[in-house]
A = this chain, B = another copy of it.
């Protein structure tokens, strides 16, 4: 008798599957290498000459998965390894035998007879190189070597040689009736022939029919289109039948159902019908677990894995999008499972000042996954800019120079097309810079634009080149209770601070003395950039010599201040209390108190750096009740009188100091308290003057 040979499955993986796997790996599995249940399917309409295909697609991971209409389900097990070495070295024989053992147990327990679709199994071993979008994979289609060998009693013949057209059509009707009554198509079933009438039944009903006189045929949906060879599902059916009928039947008749379409019509004619021998019980080994086979071979019949490189077929812009997310999501795998990346990426950043600080801050926000960035500046790119301002090139300087804000915003998109960046050329009205009648409407428009911008963003970076240009945005942001991060540079020093975000519930109670206790100050009580000043901002651009107009700083200072400014924002965003996160005013040598910290660490108020000593300190100070930018009195007046109030500030030099009581304090104190940087006297001509140096 001739031995039975089955045509194995070929695997087909839709790109959607790899995208889903990428997503699962990044967001769900992380470093967990546990096996996962997935789902595949095969069609019973394979064209002639095509290998039988088992397919997995984007739906493979769905917990409520169903096969596509008229397709048959396959139950898979995904092993995704963390490294290519693990992929190579994993014991493939063992993986397969583990599934074989499970199938054998289900066979013995009768599970497979009741749920024969569990006979169609696959293993998918993968390694996903998400940096390169290279996916290494290897399928196995487990089949128990039980019996060791099957023999034909009657060799396969096409069904059309046995049945008339009418009979075939009657069979199709019975088949359709059976399959459509089920939640999904079953790959295995019984066919009962009563003269020319066919009926189709669950395999589990076999006992009922065995005792009747009706002719019973065991059927499997067969994706194989090769004449004379049944496909892989049939092999598993024969295993089931052998186990079930050994000692009871000597032979079984099997139909491999090929539900094809021919000339536009359903056609079962190419289905194969044959009879196989059921070995005698004494010829079968029922102890232990039979060996399992099924690793897929390539077209040269070699046992090797496959590789798909999706990078070339993916939309480059989408590739960039997911690659950029990759680095961030990886943080959650091992280091920071609690990191709230969505909160960060939803933050809209407004960058006032597009110079050395602005360019670096924008780049770092982009690195952290922030997409919505608005750059503001009022100047054009000049030849000295690109070597320090990292969003500009030589070409931006030609022909008088492009507007800085727009050039910077455009550059962000050339770096990463997914950016929603915009550049706004805008001058910020400033105290001490007179608004003449001819400038009135323009100034009104500028104030309105700035208010609108601050309103529509979440985090405001003050990175301008004068102290007084920071006043108006400080005030507006305080009124709108936005997060403000301020950075300013000296020659080899820098200041980074977050403004306190007040709840506007009344006047502050801070005394005029600096706080000397070490208790953390809560976020709503922290000072702003102007809180340490006892003079109102005024026109500082007069009489600046060339070295005061330009960025005369050690180049590293801007990168350090920019980095700390952005990391400070991120720390605020990750703190459970957000902008109300307390600032630890204790020395940086104290042990880090994890209770008052975010998952990223402490959230300081200020970071002052001194490059000459490679040193940083973390002062914290309370809001000042006479502050010209954030005191209750100033905010109240701004909210009440709006532009009229601002106009007075712009035009009347003493107005702010009179309003806040600073003038009275000046009169009362012979010597002003000045709490500024101390060790660069030639650099700092007064409190808060650090910022006159940077562009």
Q: Contact between B552 and A327 (Cβ–Cβ < 8 Å)?
A: yes
In the complex, chain B residues whose CB is within 8 Å of the CB of A320: 383-384, 386, 394, 397
Q: A324-B384, A387-B416, A546-B82 are in contact. Are A570 and B552 (CB under 8 A)?
A: no
**Is A289 on the interface with B (CB-CB < 8 A)?**
no
**Distance in angstroms between the alpha carbons of A492 and B568 in the assembled complex:** 13
> Of A43-51, A109-117, A609-617, which binds chain B?
A609-617
**Distance in angstroms between the alpha carbons of A387 and B491 in the assembled complex:** 28
Interface flags for A525-562 (1: CB within 8 Å of B; 0: not) read 00000000000000000111111011110111101101
Q: Contact between B614 and A83 (Cβ–Cβ < 8 Å)?
A: no
Which residue of chain B is the closest to A364 with respect to CB atoms?
B555
Q: Contact between B417 and A551 (Cβ–Cβ < 8 Å)?
A: no
**Distance in angstroms between the alpha carbons of A316 and B85 in the assembled complex:** 54
**Is A451 on the interface with B (CB-CB < 8 A)?**
no
In the complex, chain B residues whose CB is within 8 Å of the CB of A592: 612-613
Indicate the member of A364, A366, A545 with the most B CB atoms within 10 Å.
A545
**Is A360 on the interface with B (CB-CB < 8 A)?**
yes
Indicate the member of A368, A397, A415, A564 with the most B CB atoms within 10 Å.
A415
Q: Contact between B383 and A601 (Cβ–Cβ < 8 Å)?
A: no
Interface flags for A352-378 (1: CB within 8 Å of B; 0: not) read 000000001001101110000000000
**Is A638 on the interface with B (CB-CB < 8 A)?**
no
**Is A306 on the interface with B (CB-CB < 8 A)?**
no
**Is A176 on the interface with B (CB-CB < 8 A)?**
no
In the complex, chain B residues whose CB is within 8 Å of the CB of A341: none
Interface flags for A548-591 (1: CB within 8 Å of B; 0: not) read 01111011110110111011001000000000000000001000
Q: Contact between A556 and B563 (Cβ–Cβ < 8 Å)?
A: yes
Q: A residues 1-58 with Cβ under 8 Å of B?
A: 25, 31
**Is A177 on the interface with B (CB-CB < 8 A)?**
no
Q: A564-B614, A616-B616 are in contact. Are A330 and B601 (CB under 8 A)?
A: no
In the complex, chain B residues whose CB is within 8 Å of the CB of A570: 554
Q: Contact between B545 and A323 (Cβ–Cβ < 8 Å)?
A: no
Q: A335-B683, A384-B131, A682-B335 are in contact. Are A550 and B326 (CB under 8 A)?
A: yes
In the complex, chain B residues whose CB is within 8 Å of the CB of A612: 592, 597, 600-602
**Is A388 on the interface with B (CB-CB < 8 A)?**
yes
In the complex, chain B residues whose CB is within 8 Å of the CB of A387: 324, 363, 366-367, 415-416
**Is A225 on the interface with B (CB-CB < 8 A)?**
no
Q: Contact between A394 and B367 (Cβ–Cβ < 8 Å)?
A: no
**Is A73 on the interface with B (CB-CB < 8 A)?**
no
Smallest CB separation, A434 vs chain B (Å): 15
Q: A residues 611-650 with Cβ under 8 Å of B?
A: 611-616, 618
Q: Contact between B554 and A130 (Cβ–Cβ < 8 Å)?
A: no
Q: A334-B682, A367-B387, A563-B559 are in contact. Are A607 and B614 (CB under 8 A)?
A: yes
Picked from B31, B317, B383, the residue with its CB within 8 Å of the CB of A319 is B383
Q: A residues 52-87 with Cβ under 8 Å of B?
A: 82-83, 85-86
Q: Contact between B564 and A560 (Cβ–Cβ < 8 Å)?
A: yes
Picked from B326, B416, B566, the residue with its CB within 8 Å of the CB of A556 is B566
**Is A390 on the interface with B (CB-CB < 8 A)?**
yes
**Oligomeric state, in copies:** 2
Q: Contact between A331 and B552 (Cβ–Cβ < 8 Å)?
A: yes
**Is A333 on the interface with B (CB-CB < 8 A)?**
yes
**Is A666 on the interface with B (CB-CB < 8 A)?**
no
Which residue of chain B is the closest to A321 with respect to CB atoms?
B383
In the complex, chain B residues whose CB is within 8 Å of the CB of A510: none
**Distance in angstroms between the alpha carbons of A634 and B170 in the assembled complex:** 87
In the complex, chain B residues whose CB is within 8 Å of the CB of A416: 386-387, 394
Picked from B398, B597, B682, the residue with its CB within 8 Å of the CB of A316 is B398
**Distance in angstroms between the alpha carbons of A317 and B218 in the assembled complex:** 84
Smallest CB separation, A561 vs chain B (Å): 9
Smallest CB separation, A538 vs chain B (Å): 15
**Is A165 on the interface with B (CB-CB < 8 A)?**
no
Picked from B317, B384, B390, B552, the residue with its CB within 8 Å of the CB of A390 is B390
Q: A131-B546, A364-B559, A545-B82 are in contact. Are A331 and B393 (CB under 8 A)?
A: no
Q: Contact between A556 and B550 (Cβ–Cβ < 8 Å)?
A: no
**Distance in angstroms between the alpha carbons of A384 and B552 in the assembled complex:** 33
Q: Contact between A382 and B323 (Cβ–Cβ < 8 Å)?
A: yes
In the complex, chain B residues whose CB is within 8 Å of the CB of A549: 131
Q: Contact between A567 and B331 (Cβ–Cβ < 8 Å)?
A: no
In the complex, chain B residues whose CB is within 8 Å of the CB of A607: 614
Interface flags for A315-348 (1: CB within 8 Å of B; 0: not) read 0110110111011001101110000000000000
Q: Contact between B414 and A390 (Cβ–Cβ < 8 Å)?
A: no
Smallest CB separation, A591 vs chain B (Å): 9
**Distance in angstroms between the alpha carbons of A366 and B389 in the assembled complex:** 12
Q: Contact between B368 and A395 (Cβ–Cβ < 8 Å)?
A: no
**Is A429 on the interface with B (CB-CB < 8 A)?**
no
In the complex, chain B residues whose CB is within 8 Å of the CB of A382: 131-132, 323
Q: A residues 403-419 with Cβ under 8 Å of B?
A: 414-417
Q: Contact between A542 and B85 (Cβ–Cβ < 8 Å)?
A: yes
In the complex, chain B residues whose CB is within 8 Å of the CB of A552: 327, 330-331, 334-335
Q: Contact between B613 and A334 (Cβ–Cβ < 8 Å)?
A: no
Smallest CB separation, A681 vs chain B (Å): 12
In the complex, chain B residues whose CB is within 8 Å of the CB of A682: 334-335
Interchain Cβ contacts under 8 Å between A and B, 7 examples? A25-B546, A330-B550, A363-B387, A363-B390, A559-B560, A588-B615, A592-B613
Q: Which residues does A use to contact B, with CB under 8 Å? A: 25, 31, 82-83, 85-86, 128-132, 311-312, 316-317, 319-320, 322-324, 326-327, 330-331, 333-335, 360, 363-364, 366-368, 382-384, 386-388, 390, 392-395, 397-398, 400, 414-417, 491-492, 542-547, 549-552, 554-557, 559-560, 562-564, 566-567, 570, 588, 592, 597, 600-602, 604, 607, 611-616, 618, 682-683
Beyond A331-B552, A394-B416, 19 additional contacts (C-beta under 8 Å) are A31-B545, A131-B550, A311-B383, A319-B383, A320-B386, A320-B397, A323-B383, A324-B383, A327-B551, A333-B545, A363-B387, A367-B388, A387-B415, A393-B414, A560-B560, A567-B611, A600-B612, A601-B612, A604-B614
